[in-house]
Amino acid sequence: MEKLIIQGGTSLKGSLEISGSKNSSLPILAGMLLCEGKTTVANLPHLQDVTTSLELLGSLGVELSIDENRYVEADTRTVHSLATPPELVGKMRASILVLGPMLSRFGEATVSFPGGCAIGNRPIDLHIAGMESLGAEIIIEDGFIKASRKGRLRGATIILPFPSVGATENIIMAATLAEGTTRIKNCALEPEIIDLIKCLNAWGANISGAGTSSIVVQGVKKMDGGFFRVMSDRIETATYLAAAAATGGKIRTMRADPSNISAVLEKFRKTGGDLTFGVDWIELDMRGKRPKAVNITTGPYPCFPTDMQAQFTVVNSLAIGIAQVTETIFENRLAQVQELRCMGAKIALNNNVAVITGVPKLTGTHVMASDLRASAALVIAGVAAEGETTIDEIHHVDRGYECFEEKLHQLGAKITRLPS
């Protein structure tokens, strides 16, 4: 497994371009299965999870082509399989997002239980219950979900007990080709869901209520497809701003929409840095100073995103003062704490609450990446720390950050990737 070696003690400075959103790309790629005509998607990030999604579509028989601008075109007329290979599904939890589109368009789908980051028990009961509400028959057998329908799926009112991002997306996609109207209540509000709805509507769906807790899908008989450009990645944006906050640096993120990360920007402002932004850029200037400690509690959008919790734990580890970080979305998402302690962070952990007493410096050592966002957090810690940090199992970071090392180099970081 590859590792990263970081020579730390660098205050990051400069500007960089933010890539397309991972969490928007994955449902949109699954949504290609709904369209009879060709679909083209632009601004897909070059990431392991996107590659896995494309392999998954290819394994079903979707004909894919990628041009020099990295526009991905899909033609689903060649689909010959309605069973996904478990080895691909096992790589990524978002693989479950093909369930709704396959079932709705082709009448059946066999998908194994998905894998992904080891951040706790991540059930898919809400996805399955949603499909059943739309009239699907679901059999769970030998680790596989076998879904089928007789006739078209039928519109229904579905009240989600929790605003799950993936379940909202899967149900929306299943409902696009259902007969009649589907109302999804208490749905997730994440900007990536708005992006998915814009995309599906551009391709022929009839969905309203994007960005509200009540989405209405008026089923259509078919979707023709077309073109869509994926939004920029708000978690990537905020990760680089966290790198500025932790290293006393000054970073400007370009092609980054500040309106999607208001809760995070509010916290960056509280660290004491100068935060400025325009329509599609954000700058954080720490003026060489340590951040002030800031309490964080994660929650569904528009609250503070769980995907930024690990990175902010690093900011707080180097802050002036004491902060409490509370994780409410996933049950096992503070894996970075143990590694940060090895680097000299003072963190007391009580279940999903970390109490962090900021220290003036971290010290480089040998640590292990455990999941996507925890890996990004360790990289930020390594760049800020004195001395050399080695991060094992760095492949996790490739699932979610396009050209991570190159972009950090551009900002002055000293990072090398080594095969182990």
Rule CB under 6 A: say whether 26 interacts with ligand UD1: yes
Cα dihedral across residues 278, 281, 282, 287: positive or negative: negative
Please indicate whether residue 403 is annotated as part of the active site.
no
Q: Work out which of 123, 212, 224, 266 binds ligand UD1, going by CB under 6 A.
A: 123
Rule CB under 6 A: say whether 306 interacts with ligand UD1: yes
- Of the candidates 162, 119, 111, the one whose C-alpha atom is nearest the C-alpha of residue 140 is 111
Report the residue number, 175 or 329, with the smaller CB distance to ligand UD1.
329
Nearest distance in Å: CB 372, ligand UD1: 8
In the set 35, 117, 187, 199, the catalytic residue is: 117
Q: Where are the alpha helices (DSSP H) in 115-214?
A: 125-133, 165-176, 191-202
Q: Please, which residues bridge with residue 157 across strands?
A: 183
Cα dihedral across residues 254, 260, 263, 264: positive or negative: negative
Query: Looking at the chain, how many residues does it have?
Result: 420
Query: What secondary structure letter does DSSP report for 304?
Result: B
Decide: 123 and 164 in contact? Cβ < 8 Å: no
How many angstroms separate the CA atoms of 280 and 272, rounded? 22
Report the residue number, 24 or 271, with the smaller CB distance to ligand UD1.
24
Q: How far is CA 134 from the centre of its chain?
A: 27
Q: Segment near ligand UD1 (CB under 6 A), from 11-19, 71-79, 160-168, 195-203? A: 160-168
- Interacting positions 128-147 with ligand UD1 (CB under 6 A): none
Q: Work out which of 58, 162, 208, 289 binds ligand UD1, going by CB under 6 A.
A: 162
Rule CB under 6 A: say whether 124 interacts with ligand UD1: yes
Rule CB under 6 A: say whether 160 interacts with ligand UD1: no
Q: Segment near ligand UD1 (CB under 6 A), from 164-172, 220-228, 349-357, 412-420? A: 164-172
Distances (CA, A) of 365 to 5, 210, 334: 10, 46, 19
Rule CB under 6 A: say whether 94 interacts with ligand UD1: yes
Q: Please, which residues bridge with residue 148 across strands?
A: 108, 137
Report the residue number, 47 or 177, with the smaller CB distance to ligand UD1.
47
Report the residue number, 125 or 274, with the smaller CB distance to ligand UD1.
125
Q: What tokens does 61 get?
A: 């028989």
Rule CB under 6 A: say whether 167 interacts with ligand UD1: yes
- 338 Cβ neighbours under 8 A, 6+ residues apart: none
How many angstroms separate the CA atoms of 100 and 378, rounded? 36
Rule CB under 6 A: say whether 274 interacts with ligand UD1: no
Q: Work out which of 60, 126, 153, 217 binds ligand UD1, going by CB under 6 A.
A: 126
Q: Work out which of 91, 127, 234, 399 binds ligand UD1, going by CB under 6 A.
A: 127
Contacts to ligand UD1 by CB under 6 A = 23, 26, 93-94, 122-127, 162, 164-167, 192, 305-307, 329-330
Active-site residues, by number, are 117
